């Protein structure tokens, strides 16, 4: 499962040898994230975001376990218990802000990780399973993040829960029973809060499990690289440790600086002030918005304001929103170009940046009120989003004439065209 020239684990201490003979855990770690894993020598800083995502998950699990020690999942006291954490629990304010800010940063690094995979074609053969498992992780993150946002039981928590479970109510015939079943009542209440807490605690560990599969699937072919060219020999790789442990360590430092800056100086910047108002089932906030990381999909949901062929707009919006994510599962087969890296695909690259802009526009619309001109802009942007994957990408991957690829990673590195930035190879 690795390259033949990968270094073999040789225990230095007698204790480690004793352990390795009985339970080869040191060997597993050595081969997974140690010197036993050969990695292309030309990875740029975009390859940091996998490790950063793992670090963000670690922060969430540690702070989350602590918060669960002080939080009470009961509709009557949940809001007060969060205020108790903020005011009374020693360092509680910091731990809660670390968790709330950490959720946003988890999504930031995961979005950059996905961006990297899209640009450098990391989803293509033979890494399809890595991509698919990554999407599973992303879906689990969305579910976990949503349920976590409900727990403080503020106005946005309550109405977010109502709107999101209301999405299931759009399903014909069985919609309302499903919504009632999900909530354990006719509206969000104690039953919903308790089950969301239970699942919010469970899912991060499921995510950790799928991450293991994600890394396992990655280590079969090995990491992609900025040229997208396959590893051809030992000269193309360096051992993960110490080369990339050092590079990832540096990236981790930068990440933590930015994260703590937000954590200590603008902890509420990425949240919504209405969530500091206790949940009130009789009063809807004027402007319900989910957390920022759902905005692009929320915009697609709201883009459908008209019925098509008698299918109600609400159902269309829900179907479109879920399709926007599920479609990504077919990406490895929609993009048929054998060239992986966007650096060697001039036409793809242009459309790729348009897609990035399109998703940012969708995000901007998703956070805006449901009024013109945002509705019209989200309709156009949503249409383009689907067109990119279903029309543009298949056509581009057939028609495009890619730039000449380097013969090997080493050749690219020695010619200074390792693709270490996003555009160095355009003139190749």
Partner 1 sequence: MATLETTDTSADAAGDGVRRRDFINIAAVSFAGVGAATVILPLVNQMNPSADVLAQASIEVDLSAIKEGQAVKTIFRKQPLFVRHLTGAEIAAADKVDPSSLRDPQTLEQRTVDGKKQWLITMGVCTHLGCVPLGAGEGEVKGEFGGYFCPCHGSSYDTAARIRKGPAPKNLEVPKYAFKSETIVAVG
The residues carrying an active-site annotation are: 219, 223, 247-248, 291
CA dist., res. 22 & res. 14, Å (int): 13
Using the rule CB under 8 A, which residue among 182, 218, 262, 368 binds partner 1? 182
Q: Which two tokens stand for residue 290?
A: 């989910």
Closest to 420 in 3D by CA, of 41, 122, 120, 43: 43
Q: Is 158 in the site for partner 1 (CB under 8 A)?
A: no
Tell me how far, at minimum, the Cβ of 274 lies from partner 1, in Å. Answer: 13
- Residue 382 φ/ψ, nearest 5 degrees: -65, -40
Q: Is 2 in the site for partner 1 (CB under 8 A)?
A: no
Candidate segments 133-141, 208-216, 297-305, 415-423, binder of partner 1 by CB under 8 A: 297-305
CA dist., res. 137 & res. 111, Å (int): 12
Residue 151 vs 192, nearer CB to partner 1: 192
Tell me how far, at minimum, the Cβ of 177 lies from partner 1, in Å. Answer: 9
Q: Is 154 in the site for partner 1 (CB under 8 A)?
A: no
Tell me how far, at minimum, the Cβ of 421 lies from partner 1, in Å. Answer: 43
Q: Which residues contact 396 (CB under 8 A, 6 or more apart)?
A: 337, 345, 347, 348, 351
CA dist., res. 420 & res. 398, Å (int): 27
Residue 194 vs 424, nearer CB to partner 1: 194
CA dist., res. 150 & res. 355, Å (int): 31
Q: Is 189 in the site for partner 1 (CB under 8 A)?
A: yes
What letter does residue 73 receive in the DSSP assignment?
-
Q: Is 286 in the site for partner 1 (CB under 8 A)?
A: yes
Q: Is 195 in the site for partner 1 (CB under 8 A)?
A: yes
Residue list 25-84, contact with partner 1 (CB under 8 A): none
Q: Is 273 in the site for partner 1 (CB under 8 A)?
A: no
DSSP track, 381-428: HHHHHHHIIIIIHHHHHHH--PPPPPS-HHHHHHTT-S--SSSGGGG-
Binding mask 308-347 for partner 1 (x = CB under 8 A): ----xxx---------------------------------
Q: Per-residue b/e over 122-135, b at no fewer than 16 CB within 10 Å?
A: bbbeebebbbbbbb
Catalog residues that contact partner 1 under the rule CB under 8 A: 159, 162-163, 166-167, 169, 180-182, 184-187, 189, 191, 195, 281-284, 286-288, 302, 304-305, 307, 312-314, 370-371
């Amino acid at each position: 499962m690795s390259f033949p020239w990968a270094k073999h684990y040789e225990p230095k201490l007698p204790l480690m040898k004793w352990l390795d003979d009985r339970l080869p855990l040191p060997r597993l770690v050595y081969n997974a994230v140690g010197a036993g894993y050969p990695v292309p020598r030309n990875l740029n800083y975009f390859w940091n975001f996998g490790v950063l995502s793992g670090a963000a998950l670690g922060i969430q699990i540690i702070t989350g376990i602590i918060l669960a020690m002080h939080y009470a999942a009961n509709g009557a006291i949940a809001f007060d218990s969060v205020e108790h954490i903020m005011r009374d629990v020693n360092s509680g304010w910091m731990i809660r802000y670390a968790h709330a800010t950490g959720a946003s940063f988890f999504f930031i690094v995961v979005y950059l990780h996905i961006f990297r995979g899209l640009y450098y074609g990391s989803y293509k053969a033979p890494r399809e399973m890595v991509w698919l498992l990554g999407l599973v992780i992303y879906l689990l993150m969305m579910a976990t993040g949503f349920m976590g946002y409900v727990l403080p039981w503020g106005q946005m928590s309550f109405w977010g829960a109502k709107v999101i479970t209301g999405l299931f109510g759009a399903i014909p015939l069985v919609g309302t029973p499903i919504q009632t079943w999900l909530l354990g009542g006719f509206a969000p209440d104690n039953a919903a809060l308790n089950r969301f807490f239970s699942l919010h605690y469970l899912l991060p560990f499921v995510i950790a499990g799928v991450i293991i599969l994600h890394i396992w699937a990655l280590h079969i072919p090995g990491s992609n690289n900025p040229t997208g060219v396959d590893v051809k020999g030992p000269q193309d790789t360096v051992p993960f440790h110490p080369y990339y442990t050092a590079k990832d360590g540096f990236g981790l430092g930068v990440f933590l600086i930015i994260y703590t800056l937000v954590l200590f100086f603008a902890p509420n910047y990425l949240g919504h002030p209405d969530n500091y108002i206790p949940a009130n089932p009789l009063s809807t906030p004027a402007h319900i918005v989910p957390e920022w990381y759902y905005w692009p999909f929320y915009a697609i949901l709201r883009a459908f304001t008209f019925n098509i062929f008698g299918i109600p707009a609400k159902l269309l919006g829900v179907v479109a929103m879920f399709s926007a994510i599920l479609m990504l599962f077919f990406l490895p087969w929609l993009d048929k170009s054998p060239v992986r890296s966007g650096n060697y695909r001039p036409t793809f690259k242009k459309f790729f940046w348009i897609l990035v802009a399109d998703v940012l526009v969708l995000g901007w619309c998703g956070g805006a009120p449901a009024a013109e001109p945002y509705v019209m802009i989200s309709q156009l942007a949503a249409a383009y989003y689907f067109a990119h994957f279903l029309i543009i990408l298949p056509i581009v991957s057939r028609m495009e004439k890619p730039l000449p690829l380097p013969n090997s990673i080493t050749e690219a590195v020695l010619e200074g065209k390792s693709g270490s930035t996003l555009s160095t190879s355009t003139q190749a």
